[in-house]
Amino acid sequence: MNIDETDKPFAEASEPYLVFGAPLIGEEEIAEVETCLRSGWLGTGPRVAQFERDFASYKGVGEQQVAAVNSCTAALHVSMIAAGLDPGSEVITTPLTFCATINAIIHAGLTPILADIDPVTMNIDPAAIEDAITPRTRAILPVHFAGRPCDMAAIMAIARKYDLIVIEDCAHAIEAEYHGRKMGTFGDFGCFSFYATKNVVTGEGGMIVGRDETHIARARILALHGMSKDAWHRYSDTGYRHYQVVEAGFKYNMMDMQAALGIHQLARAEANRTQRERIWQHYMETFVDLPVQLPAGFEPGTRHALHLFTMLIDESCGGIGRNAFIEAMHGSGIGTGVHYLSVPEHTYYRERFGWKPEQWPEAMRVGRKTASLPLSPALSDGDVERIVAHTKTILRPTLPRTVARSGRP
Ligand SMILES: *Cc1c(COP(=O)(O)O)cnc(C)c1O
């Protein structure tokens, strides 16, 4: 790779811009969406039912223990309502997460409480959870960050000790396992995302996995206007069915058009993970000498879902800061991500809750230094080599020329 590549503001036609998180969409998905469109049945129907059955079988749970919805945010929201927590109850979660985790707590009428991360795993620290418990604490909402399972033995022990509900944010963790058990099956609820950048893609989409079938039955009602159970099938070919509205619900149902993608995406989840594992190992091997902090090794007995490859970039070590790195990569035609600026860095939460980033120093430190490289199974070997070459060129302190120009276009 020619170092002068980094001088180009935008990639040449022969090197298309690598959009961060671009999904791998197969011919099966395309054909299934077309069949769905031609069938005239776009809304919630047979394909959603099949996707639910497939997901239940992938997770090893019963068919009545899953409910498809139209986002993970929706899954988190209705899970917390279905859990029946009293208004104002405190829910302990991580400051290193997407804003949807916190917003869902707020919209459920509950109070988010942050507990700092472990600096090695970047997952919520069980000791910090225990420190954050008050008489109003009712739930723990761990996020399996980047696809790395949280310390569920410790978290479930705390939940038992204080009689707390556990809702797992599994947006990154579809394929993850902890000591032989699949993520999303530890807590009372597991919430999954099929957003366009996630490991299994339906465009927008989500799934709730629940330990208790009655919780899932309520979640289904909440996700479709609060209409009684049969409403999910009210337009089926078995004829019109009357329904009752039994509570004020939401419009959170998944469409067949989305499930058409999900059915085939889920079938390839393991193959896609294998492909991401190759890229991950290649990054780990080639970046070992770079002045950055690479992801920690995998904990024994766990299976990482390999959703995000995050590096901590410290200007005092490598001579280039995180933001300059992101801009330089962009200038080289490569999209990267930031996962995440810690929650209290955002204005709304600071103003509403009086939070300061310094109160959760580990999440603050990670959030200010972290950058995520593309890890999609859609990347060709050539794409990966391009990412590797530019990353090494930009980060290697022995090439100050590139560093000095990093701010361009
Ligand atoms: C993507 C994401 C969500 C929200 O998922 P949607 O399906 O987009 O609603 C929630 N939590 C985390 C950690 C996420 O990364």
pLDDT band at 236 (very low <50, low <70, confident <90, very high): low
Q: Which residues line ligand 1 (CB under 6 A)?
A: 71-73, 97-98, 100-101, 143, 169, 171-172, 193, 195, 206
pLDDT at site 240: 76
pLDDT value of residue 274: 98
Boundaries of every domain in the chain: 3-23+270-395, 27-267
Q: What's the gap in Å between 160 CA and the centre of ligand 1?
A: 27
Count, residues in the chain: 409
- What is residue 14's predicted lDDT score, i.e. its pLDDT? 64
Whether pLDDT at 87 is above 50? yes
Ligand 1: centre distance to CA 206 (Å): 9
Confidence at 11, pLDDT banded by 50, 70, 90: very low
Better-scored residue on pLDDT, 273 or 396: 273
* Percent composition of the chain: helix, strand, coil (DSSP 3-state, to 5): 45, 15, 40
- Mean pLDDT score, 51-76: 98
For residue 354, the number of C-alpha atoms closer than 13 Å in the C-beta half-sphere is 0
Q: Give the least confident one: 54-68, 148-162, 292-306, 393-407.
A: 393-407
Q: How far is the CA of 169 from the centre of ligand 1 (A)?
A: 8
- 397 pLDDT above the threshold of 60: no
Q: Give catalytic residue positions.
A: 198
CATH number for the domain formed by residue range(s) 3-23+270-395:
3.90.1150.10
pLDDT digits (tens, 9 = 90+) for 289-326: 999 999 999 999 999 999 999 999 999 888 899 999 99
Calculate the alpha carbon distances from 182 to 19, 59, 150, 299 in Å. 30, 6, 12, 15
Kindly report the CATH class assigned to 27-267: alpha beta
The sheet that has 309-313: what strands, in order across it? 292-293, 309-313, 370-373
Give the global pTM.
Answer: 0.93
> Between 405 and 224, whose confidence is greater?
224
What is the H or E stretch that residue 265 is in?
Answer: helix 256-267
